[in-house]
Structure 1
Amino acid sequence: MDAAARYYALALAARPGSEVVAIRAYREGLASGDLALARKSLAVLTRAGVAPPDAAVLEFADAVVARQPDRASGAVETLGEGPLDFLQPVLAAWLALDRGDPAAALQFASREGDALDRRYASENHALILLASGRTAEGLVAVQAQLGPLQEDQQFRLAAAALLAGKGKRDAARGLLAGEDPVLALYRQRLGRGAKGDARFGASRFLTRVAKDLASDETASLAIALARAALVLDPGYDGARIALADALSLEGADAKAHQALAAIPDGSPFAREGRAAEAAVLARAGEADAAIAAATALSSGSDSSGEDARRLGDLLTAEGRFGEAAAAYATALDREGEPPDWTLLLQRGAALEQAGRWDEALPVLRRAVEVAPAEPLALNYLGYAQVERNENLPAAIAMLEQARQLAPEDLNIADSLGWAYYRQGNAARALPLLEQAARANEVSGTVQEHLGDLLWRLGRRYEARYAWSAARLDADPSKDAKLAEKLLQGLPAASASPRS
């Protein structure tokens, strides 16, 4: 047992009626995998009427495994009465399928709701069609969910397992076609497939939601969902990856590593687990170890473009821009034609930040050529040229186009305002820079831009206020420059901006 879990088990034994101890023991039990402690704690919280909403998810999983459909239905009804009501239709659908009522299952999975509800429902509607033997309709529904890019790997794996379980192995292999190493391994080890029951369907659904909820604010909920998914299907390594991600967000790095270590080398998810290991290391501040793990993953004979991109992202985060640019180049080579504009943008940005502008410019231009209506690409190339006083008319035209495409983007407002300032047009620059500077989470660069403009307009007190605000977000090199501006202002310009 984990040391913290032992402590809470002892505390709960000493104070068996304490709700405060019980809720902490419940969370620790889920985090450590001591589900006996979690269940014992929940009993205390349930008797007191203060069980957290996600308690019903663990209750559902336990009931399904114990083959107690009435108890499972009660847990689903409880979910429908609280903030996790969006889980209810899909879990009810898989229960209905277990009862031998596919019509009711499909009806549950077709309920109306918001965009998120509809996405979950439509995915599971497609899987239930496959699980109930309606494979032709199910395949059409699966393809509609995947779309032209065939991106959703986890969904494809689930659908392929269900097809194989129905004896449709050729259709399953077709769904797993491609060079992706995970799909290729799964293709080889398809086996008999999966039984389309509540244990299978609900475990995949709860894992999907856990991954979607992985953030600092909802990590504890994601942990609860991933643990319930593993109760339903202890062999589902996709849930272990979701669990590790959520544990890492909670700062439980050792527990995250333990979850990933439980994924066997032969698992189709082993590669994704190694990628998750690099992410956990990076989040824990172990940058060198994370980069080493990502480098190893990106250096194999079967390494993908995504592996190289991941390495590039980690190198970028550490300011190793030249190495990052090389990693992104590898990713582009592996991805082939047509190039991904986001990879082009990342490579161009890395080259620019490495001080290799002559190499960066054609890459950034290529990104805009590939994605001429993407405001992010237009903004980066336009701003980079403005900063160098290069090709100002064309750069301003790009930024104006970006502004039209994304009028609410304050970074673009800042870029365009700064471009107008560099052009000498204060009247057009001021409202844009003021708008950008009013944002709740504004960067120091925006405040510095506003300060420079205000100084040129003779509004010296306001300029110094903006520069002081910029220092709150400045690195040491920029802080020295801002301190000099606060002390001496800007040097005299040959021409003031036009008003």
Structure 2
Amino acid sequence: MVISVGRLWSLAVVVAALWGCMPQSGGRTGRDDGDMADESRLEAGLGAYLAGRFAQSHGDTRAAADYFTTASRRDPDNLDLQQRAFTLLVAEGRLDEAAVMAERLLIIDGEAALPSMMMGARDGRDGRFAAAEKRFAILPKKGINGFLGPLLTAWAKAGQGDFDGGLALLAPREETSSFAPIYEFHAGLMAEQAGRPDLAEGHYKAALAAQTSVRTVEAVGTFYQRAGRMDAAAELYQRYLKEHGDRSLLDARRLLAAGAGPPATVATAADGLAEAMFDTASLVRQGNAHDLALVFSRLALALRPDFPMAQILVADTLGHQKRLAEANEVYRAIPVSAQVSGFARLRLAVNLDEMGEVDRAIAELKSLAAATPDNHDALMALGDVQRRHKRFAEAADTYDLALVKAGGSADSRNWGLFYARGIALERSHQWPKAEKDFLEALRLKPDQPDVLNYLGYTWVDQGINLEKGRKLIERAVELRPNDGAIVDSLGWALYRMGEFQASVRYLERAAELKAEDPTINEHLGDALWQVGRYDEARFQWKRAMSLDPEPEQIDPLKAKISTGQLPGQPLK
């Protein structure tokens, strides 16, 4: 990627202004060796700063941390640089380095939020809860700190045996009403730790009534199990799976097999602090604040190294940054005994596939499928990998096995498996079977845009069921009007039905929505040719050729470009 000189200069001006090193009129014109050394140091720092800004803007927190740390060493009095470097060091899990910088920042600003939070977490980890409470008490009362501060302070009080004081901080209040489910959840955890099961259950029920996250369901379900209420636990797990289907994140059978023996979700006050950090990381991750998600996930793991859900969040965020090898190191560190170990192996395999290690990905998924005979997620992921690499017949066979495990048509959530198998069958030239799967997927999930589009497009492309296909695609466009692939399908249906002017209108829209798709550009070229816009048609065919078309598209495109017309069609 290229950065313009103008952008670099504007950043340089900002940094120079921050550092107070802009040349001033009327100053000295001569320079001694000390001036030159200072200038050289600042220039080196400026370069590191710019590189750090670039790395951070592209989601590479590892490189950004290195660059900003270098820049901060070049100018140790620059508070902005120190804060940036500190935050990124925490995000990268380099907490010993960050602690040194935190102490320096707290000397400059005794109420600096993130350094106070980190040092308070360290105090809590080491059992110094009174010191931790003092750190947390000075956190700002707005923004994310306004939400997190009471949670951390509550657990610091609990660590000192003051459970009533901690629970009072988690009581509903207007300024934190939007976070009530999380506060109720933590109140349940705290009451359970305090040995007040009835109070804990009340808070847990309030949390579940507002939000059924997998973490809450697991905590409440195992609470029921420890109380010997296995039916209540089983009912909660099944209700969640029916609504969400996250089998790889919630292994109900495995949980129930532990009987009354699952450990408490939060056993200590330090665990409670870690839970608060994790919940915050999850919140900011939902808002696409990936750097902050890493910060809070790392703090959660500093407090509780054996915290698989926090490890999952770290690995997932690293994967979002395309740091797939590092993400897989984190996934591999999750013990097999962990509830989410299957999910970790699943994500590891997906990353291997994205890294080009297809055979390793397939081997990992086959091994996982064999190890989890009551779970079809690994088989579905395996079929997806095979389909992605055009091993369509193999993928269809894998989806067969997945559907048997998943219960077939008896479970309406399996529409996606029928849809995926239908694609594999259609691409392996088994259309009658594929058509049945698409129709079954629609029966299970009426008005599903992808299924409507795929079935309607295939009918139209084959020249069969044109009117029915057109209606299916029109419905898909109604449901998803800004999906370029679906708009293209409608344009192509109109083309196949001879409505060329209307076809051009939709295909031009599709090309705007999905400009890099070779098939859409080829379709638009064909339609433009049919309405006499020959030069534009040729341009679209050339564009399609430049966009890495499928092998079967290449020769027809070459012929169109060479002759300037559709095969067998004379110029009009």
TM-score, length of structure 1 as denominator length: 0.80
- Work out the CA distance in 2 between the residues paired with 1:464 and 1:351: 34
2:253 corresponds to which residue? 184
Provide the residue aligned with 1:345 in structure 2: 419
Instruction: Show the counterpart of 1:115.
Output: none
Aligned ranges for residues 220-299 of structure 1 at < 5 Å?
220-299=291-370
Distance 1:9 1:436 in 2: 43
One-letter amino acid of the structure 1 residue matched with residue 451 of structure 2: A
Q: Please, which moves more after superposition, 477-486 or 203-212?
A: 203-212
Q: Determine whether 1:371 maps to 2:445.
A: yes
Whole-Å Cα distance in 2 between the matches of residues 52 and 449 of structure 1? 58
Matches within 5 A, 1:84-99: 85-86=143-144, 88-90=146-148, 92-93=150-151, 95-96=153-154, 99=157
* Equivalent residue for 1:105, pick from 170, 174, 186: 170
- Seen in structure 2, the aligned counterparts of structure 1 residues 292 and 11 have a Cα distance that, compared at 3 Å, is same
Q: Where does structure 1 lack aligned partners over 5 or more consecutive residues?
A: 113-117
Distance 1:482 1:54 in 2: 58
Out of 159, 162, 167, which is 2:220 matched to?
159
Partners of 1:215 and 1:479 lie apart in 2 by 42
| TM-score under structure 2 length normalisation | 0.71
Query: What's the offset of the Cα at 1:137?
Result: 3.4
Find out whether 1:314 has 2:314 as its counterpart: no
Q: Report how far residue 440 of structure 1 moved.
A: 6.0
Matches within 5 A, 1:455-466: 455-466=529-540
Aligned 8 A contact 1:9 1:37 in 2: no
The residue that corresponds to 2:121 in the other structure is: 61
State the alpha-carbon separation in 1 of the partners of residues 384 and 478 from structure 2. Answer: 29
Structure 1 stretch displaced more, 391-400 or 229-238: 229-238
The 3-state SS of whatever aligns with 1:106 is coil
- Whole-angstrom distance in 2 between the partners of 1:213 and 1:444: 37
Alignment partner, residue 128 of structure 1:
187
Deviates most, 285-294 or 258-267: 258-267
Give me the whole-angstrom Cα distance separating, in 1, the residues matched to 2:204 and 2:87: 41
Gaps (5+ residues) in structure 2? 1-61, 158-164, 192-197, 242-246
Distance (Å, rounded) in 2 between the aligned partners of 1:5 and 1:466: 41
CA RMSD of aligned residues (A): 4.0
How far off its partner does 1:201 sit?
A: 4.7
- Count residues with an aligned counterpart: 475
Larger Rg: 2
State the Cα distance separating 1:107 from its structure 2 match.
2.0
Aligned with residue 559 of structure 2, among 467, 484, 494: 484
Deviation of 1:363 (Å): 0.4
**Post-superposition offset of 1:89:** 1.7
Q: How do residues 398-413 of structure 1 correspond to structure 2 at under 5 angstroms?
A: 398-413=472-487
Q: Are 2:493 and 1:422 equivalent residues in the alignment? A: no
Q: 8 Å contact 1:89–1:108 — kept in the other structure?
A: no
Q: Distance in 2 between matches of 1:301 and 1:197?
A: 32
CA distance in structure 1 between the partners assigned to 2:453 and 2:534 by the alignment: 29
Structure 1, residues 202-239: CA drift from partner, whole Å, max 9, x if none? 53454456467669975443322221111232221111
**Structure 1 residue 56, shift from structure 2 partner:** 6.5
Supply the distance in 1 between the matched residues of 2:543 and 2:275 (Cα, whole angstroms): 47
Q: Are residues 73 and 140 of structure 1, via their aligned partners in 2, closer, same or farther at CA, if it must alter by over 3 Å? A: same
Would the aligned equivalents of 2:167 and 2:190 in 1 still touch at CA under 8 Å? no
With over 3 angstroms needed to count, the CA separation of the structure-2 counterparts of 1:444 and 1:101, relative to structure 1, is same
Contact 2:155 2:272 in 1 (8 A): no
